[in-house]
Amino acid sequence: MTVRPIRFYGDPVLRTPAAEVVAFDDDLRALITDLEDTVREPGRAGVAAPQIGIGLRAFSYNVGGVVGHLINPVLSDLDGEQDDDEGCLSLPGMEYPTRRAWAATATGVDQFGEPLTIKGTGLLARALQHETDHLDGRLYLDTLTGDIRRQALRELRRGPRAARR
């Protein structure tokens, strides 16, 4: 079991769009194992490959005790709206109300290149959207608007809470 360290805000890998996975080999399967081991840590709903320093379009999720992964995801069927607090392992200690679709479908492939579709509502839909954003070099802070965005950016300028400990 390998729990990989999380990259924090400021690391360029978090702002770089990840490359599409084209090789479904032992290296990819090792990455998926590491992602799934890393997301099993308490309090984690998702981990994208860039968050562990790997610029590939893959992520793992852990919602309701179900751990899985998706490679080369494409989101569709975004429906409804939720506006709950959202955080990010790469921005420790920060949580802000973030508007996401209530329901989402993500299609892609598994670690063997086989087609895979994940449909979710609530927290799973939020995780699918959040992790796919990571693969596009976006952070949840980028979706914030108005006073909430200004508040988050002020907190960010003070530095991540993990760094202030």
Which residues are identified as catalytic? 131
Query: Is 130 marked as a binding-site residue?
Result: yes
Strand partners, 56: 19
Query: Is 69 marked as a binding-site residue?
Result: no
Asked if residue 126 lies in contact with residue 100, where contact means CB atoms within 8 angstroms, the answer is: yes
The residue assigned the tokens 């194992």 is: 33
Q: What type of residue is 129?
A: Q
Distance CA 42, CA 46 (A): 11
DSSP letter, residue 52: G
Annotated binding site for Fe cation: 88, 130, 134
Residues in binding site: 88, 130, 134
